[in-house]
Structure 1
């Protein structure tokens, strides 16, 4: 199979060894070969940004932003609608590329493109909403508050769902009148960056308003330090997020952090077990578990834990592992060798500590078979750590109180779920779970790009993005008063 469809919308010749600043330009940081995780094939080659590239991009974005802010809301909205139309026209090509670059299934690639279309239309819709408030004040004085953009927003996005997790920040930030400097993960620079650049380029976004610079830690640090950047929107690991927060905070920037999770699915003894097993399997193994909302713990009442485990083992053994982008399997590869080694180490350490490996384990190359661990308990690596691999960890509990205690026994606080036909009981449990996302009778990866999304503790800094939260994230309030003439004061 050829690496790129060179006659389609995504043509490698446009970005080969280049960055995007409204046009495709040479970089100072060298080149970045991008390999398909399932095959090891070189998909494409982009540039790799360094600190100098970031500084130049921030300067261009800073100069371009005022004119974009001043553009009328209808004109801005039309850019987003055209970009959405382009994504729909080229849907199949974009979905396949996203699947190949991320090691995901075509179902997953299609999902990302569909969500991208929604995000673009939602950004267009933001521009038809009110941008401020009239406030009560003394007679003879007009008092109002209006939302103003931060100026330049830096977006740092991850490899797992790169199109959605980039665009969910890029689109509303642009809609709010900001310019954006986007640093996608260099493992997925097209899905997380250049695909978005192509959509906006052909949709008529003014040059310089969006910059796309794949890069490593040096580029991310430079973005967090640049004085022309007013806000950083980061999605990634908690360890990296802590460094971003330290650097951006030291430079007095607003920071939105969407980080990792160790998410619990609680299955009560009255649950329909085949349905519960389906939910648990989807939450644990979707996209090889490489999702911040993945079901990291399956807390099962002791009376049904063995039966639920057996159902999960049967599901794991029925799933095919292989090149999911070509429809050969439901479970694809992990993103890189480092992550494969990490998953192996967590599973091995947990088994050594007393957990039971019911099925699964490492496969060839970057593949890791859907895995079921039973008898997992606090203190084990599989209980404590975010695995980011296809590992279902079954943890038994004896009472609702113990289930709540086990679910909250983590520094993370992203997603949680409870499955039971007893809605009152399930909701009472859910109300005591420390999480930003709560699902009753669903699994932990349940998500829609139009909802406010955010975690607590080590899962984020309390901010939320998406839907009604976007205006709050990507603008700041300015209070304005107007009088016919200045008053006389006693001084």
Structure 2
């Protein structure tokens, strides 16, 4: 198939290099969240399909791990070429299936291309070690080996990148993969990747995709005997369940969890307020706030609070809302009815709790316009819940120390940001935040392929990207070699 031909059969399972219908009795409709048009029907996977996928991955793994680094690098290079050639097709699928704006979809494709380029270096970065030893005639060696089969469960908000981030990394390191995408994005999180890897020439069984209902195959996917690690990206609630099943079940396995967040944007009293407003709005409203790193609350020093709020009110009213296929649109549709209902619940609860609605608007279909609240109680649900929608609470801090206290007053610790004109003040403040990532004078949303990505507290376990993910997705094997006979007191 040439890149000029659009992919077909994207509503089927991909197991051991074959495209098949799922064997579940259940079907689902894949729906465009913007206009509610049906994309296609999907015959879902059963636990028998999960068995087949894991079996295929297990059979393929040893020969895949035995390929040379040069061979794997060549395939990843081919994958990069396919991603480039298929770029517009991928972007259009993200807009159509996940409700991504064209801006966000373009950013997401770039992120996937970035992690692919980084993964291309991994086969030559899996290094062993020689240890000193006090035993005469002994060599003490450390080998790093592939884990085996990795099960990947990806979310619907950045489906293409967050699937690719785990899949390409696992494959580059000699593992094989079974991927279960979110039900809302079975193509952009699953079968679209399968087509791309197939076109790039990856062997059968190396990547497998099963699209099924969580209630039917979710627990089984995690508890299965084959995978050595489960990589899960999604909500903290579901992530806790995955952790319990993976560690507390019959087969103990490793886990990589990237979960929810409640990212603060802290505006100190010396900040450039116009810049702070721009960073707040981009960090909150890109992809309708449906990003784990999204600015979930902005904490502003009392000395500049009123001026910040005035500038914020003016700017937020200018944000483009509506058709995600228009490049200027920042805020598009919420992914589904359930998520929309939850965002609307949060808005009504905020009003009931006494927060003042500064900017709002009427919902049209799945489009919720930006909502900004002031006079927000830091202990209210609005300040403490992850809204995952276009809702922004503005919280007043008495001073810098109080701002840091408010920033850390959360069960989450994924991303964060601080605005200040004093760079070292910003660094000192950043180091006081209990989070995996802090950005000074920038938005809370950032994911660079060579930098450690992950959170603290209830935001997850482990780190993605760079040498951190190499450690997560490989195992250490200590080997000693006794070159001369060793004497024992027996």
> Which category of TM-score, normalised to the shorter sequence, fits these structures?
over 0.9
Tell me the secondary structure at the aligned position of residue 198 of structure 2: helix
Cα contact 1:373–1:393 (8 A) shared by 2: yes
Tell me the secondary structure at the aligned position of residue 415 of structure 1: coil
Paired residue for 2:157?
160
**Aligned pair 1:111/2:102, yes or no?**
no
Distance 1:428 1:327 in 2: 38
Gaps of 5+ in 1: 1-5
CA deviation after TM superposition for structure 1 residue 347, in Å: 1.4
1:27–1:379 CA distance, 2 compared to 1 (3 A): same
Paired residue for 1:474?
473
**Aligned pair 1:51/2:50, yes or no?**
no
Paired residue for 2:331?
331
Distance 1:10 1:478 in 2: 46
Paired residue for 1:265?
265
**Aligned pair 1:188/2:185, yes or no?**
yes
Cα contact 1:149–1:178 (8 A) shared by 2: yes
Cα contact 2:14–2:194 (8 A) shared by 1: no
Cα contact 1:143–1:479 (8 A) shared by 2: yes
Tell me the secondary structure at the aligned position of residue 479 of structure 1: strand
Alignment of 1:160-309 (within 5 A): 160-217=157-214, 218-250=216-248, 251-309=251-309
Instruction: Using structure 2 for the length normalisation, give the TM-score.
Output: 0.95
**Aligned pair 1:16/2:11, yes or no?**
yes
**Aligned pair 1:145/2:110, yes or no?**
no
CA deviation after TM superposition for structure 1 residue 61, in Å: 0.8
**Aligned pair 1:68/2:64, yes or no?**
yes
Distance 1:483 1:284 in 2: 60
Q: How many residues were matched structurally?
A: 485
**Aligned pair 1:457/2:452, yes or no?**
no
1:144-193 deviations in Å (ceiling 9; x for gaps): 11111111100000000011111111111111111100001011111111
1:225-247 deviations in Å (ceiling 9; x for gaps): 11111100000000000110011
Taking only aligned residues, the RMSD between alpha carbons, in angstroms, comes to 1.7
Distance 1:39 1:326 in 2: 14
Distance 1:321 1:262 in 2: 24
1:392-416 deviations in Å (ceiling 9; x for gaps): 2100011111101111110001111
* Larger deviation, residues 161-170 vs 17-26: 17-26
1:105-159 deviations in Å (ceiling 9; x for gaps): 1121112222222222211111122421121124432221111111110000000
Q: Which residue of 123, 128, 152 maps to 2:119? A: 123
Cα contact 2:10–2:192 (8 A) shared by 1: no
Instruction: Using structure 1 for the length normalisation, give the TM-score.
Output: 0.95
Cα contact 1:309–1:372 (8 A) shared by 2: no
Distance 2:488 2:28 in 1: 64
* Larger deviation, residues 116-125 vs 275-284: 116-125
CA deviation after TM superposition for structure 1 residue 344, in Å: 1.0
* Larger deviation, residues 135-144 vs 448-457: 135-144
1:416–1:16 CA distance, 2 compared to 1 (3 A): closer
1:118–1:10 CA distance, 2 compared to 1 (3 A): farther
Cα contact 2:3–2:82 (8 A) shared by 1: no
Tell me the secondary structure at the aligned position of residue 28 of structure 2: strand
Distance 1:338 1:324 in 2: 20
Distance 1:480 1:345 in 2: 57
Paired residue for 1:3?
none
Distance 1:49 1:215 in 2: 5
Cα contact 2:137–2:484 (8 A) shared by 1: no
CA deviation after TM superposition for structure 1 residue 362, in Å: 4.3
Distance 1:220 1:8 in 2: 34
Distance 2:447 2:166 in 1: 16
Cα contact 1:347–1:381 (8 A) shared by 2: no
Paired residue for 1:397?
397
Tell me the secondary structure at the aligned position of residue 324 of structure 1: coil
CA deviation after TM superposition for structure 1 residue 11, in Å: 4.6
1:279-338 deviations in Å (ceiling 9; x for gaps): 000111010000000111100111222221222222221122212124473210000111
**Aligned pair 1:89/2:89, yes or no?**
no
Distance 1:97 1:314 in 2: 34
Cα contact 1:115–1:164 (8 A) shared by 2: yes
